[in-house]
Every structure is written in C-alpha cells, then in structure tokens.
Amino acid sequence: MEDTIIKTENIVFKKTELLTDNELSYCPGCGHGTAHRIIMEVIDEMGIQADTIGVAPVGCSVLAYDFMNIDMQQAAHGRAPAVATGIKRVLPEKFVFTYQGDGDLAAIGTAETIHVCNRGEHFTMIFINNGIYGMTGGQMAPTTLPGMKSSTSPYGRDVEMMGHPLKMTELIANLPGTCFVTRQAVHTPSAVRKAKKAVRKAFELQKEKKGISFVEIVSNCNSGWKMTPVQSNKWMEDNMFPYYPMGDIKLPE
C-alpha cells in the first residue's frame, strides 16, 4: 500500500538529501531549521554539493554541522569571515558561505564582518538575527531592541546605558566590497520563498566575483524570549520587523 502511495506523481514535498537524517536539536519553533533547509535546497538545486564549503562558528549556528551534508569547517567565535576568506582565496572555484548568529557576527565578530565586507571577498554571508544570545542563556546582544528584556537586561534595554542596537545589514551595505545585501525571514511560506530566492541569488553572484553577498534572516528565539513559537512569531512581526524591515538594501550593479 505504501509503495502505491509514494509515487513520483504523488509526492508534494521531498526533503533534500543535503540535509542529514539527524533529528533537529533546535528548540521547537526555531527558525534555524528552516534556514538550514532552504540553504541546502539551493545547493542541491544548483548541483554544487561537492563544490560548496560552509563555515560556522560558536552559538546555535555551530549545530549546523549535524544537519548539513556538505563540507563544513568550524571557526572560533566571530572568526567565520576570516576562515571563509582563507578558504575562498586558496580554493577560488569553490562556493563558500558563513552561517552566523547575531551574537557572533555583530558582537565578537564585528571587526571581522566589517573588514571582510570592505575588502569585498567573493563569498556569501548568512546572518541569523534573533535579537538575543540564544545558546548561552538569553543575554542581551548587539541586536537586542530598545526596551527589550533579556537575562542581562531584565528591565529592558536602556539605550542611554547600553547603546543602540546595531543594524549590521544597513551598516555593511555602505561598504564598497558588498554587492548584494538583503534582509528576509522564514516564519511564513511566503517569507520562506523570498528568503530562498535571496540565498540562491547570493550563491549565484559568487560566480561573478563582484564581492560579498550578505543575507540577513530575522528569526525568533521563543526560548530566549520566553514565549510560545506562535507568540514569538507574532512578537517578531510586531517588534523586530519595524526595526529591521524586510527587503533588499543593496543590489548588484
């Protein structure tokens, strides 16, 4: 009976083979799993599995090694852009990408991010922004919103004392080494389609050697935000999106 049902013409969705069979260890409702899926689907559809190298540092992003069936390289906290630079310069024919969270890319890795974008290295940066340090206990991150509560800002982020959130995507869009800079999300089917299209464009631009492609994905952290997945998505729409608006910020010339 099962063989009769599972025919090519009856299959609505099939998991890409570039995702391993390991059970996702992310918190239920987290956007990381969806981000993983669309990246691996793009690589699968482009037929570049053997020619792709991913770099992930510390934080929830480090778990990517368990789920992405491609060559992966670990980097120290914040140093993924430097590692990716070395890989791409030694192996320029490869498709190289970094997969980083906001605590990594926008805090300890700020200098690495700025300088690699200013130099215009020819790889892709994928930036998951959930406005908090997710893995280590929900501490305030550089991207935490004004007034947003965290384990280290229990009364909300006070910008007079703690400074303003960093809008990394707008910041690096001003650098001459960036060619494609966009901000997307993965919380609805429509958003997933747009995000996947952006990831595909970022990978294809590596062939043209015009510089860095930077894809920010605004996501939730329902555990760190102390909400249910449904509540966190609604909160993200109401609070994160006005501060971090969706859409392309810089397009290739």
Sequence spans of domains, the chain: 25-250
pLDDT band at 78 (very low <50, low <70, confident <90, very high): very high
pLDDT band at 3 (very low <50, low <70, confident <90, very high): low
- How far is residue 189's CA from residue 116's CA, in Å, rounded to a whole number? 32
Residue 60 in this model has a pLDDT that exceeds 90:
no
- How far is residue 141's CA from residue 67's CA, in Å, rounded to a whole number? 26
Question: Which of 120, 97, 99 is closest to 203 using CA atoms?
Answer: 97
> What mean pLDDT is predicted for residues 152-175?
95
Average pLDDT over the chain reads 93
Which residues, other chains included, contact 1 with Cβ-Cβ below 8 Å and sequence gap of 6+? none
Q: What is the CA radius of gyration of the chain?
A: 18
pLDDT at 61: 85
pLDDT at 192: 96
pLDDT at 5: 59
Tell me the fold of 25-250: Rossmann fold (3.40.50)
pLDDT at 204: 97
Residue 73 in this model has a pLDDT that exceeds 90:
yes
> What mean pLDDT is predicted for residues 69-90?
96
Residue 185 in this model has a pLDDT that exceeds 70:
yes
User: In the chain, what percentage of residues exceed pLDDT 90?
Assistant: 85
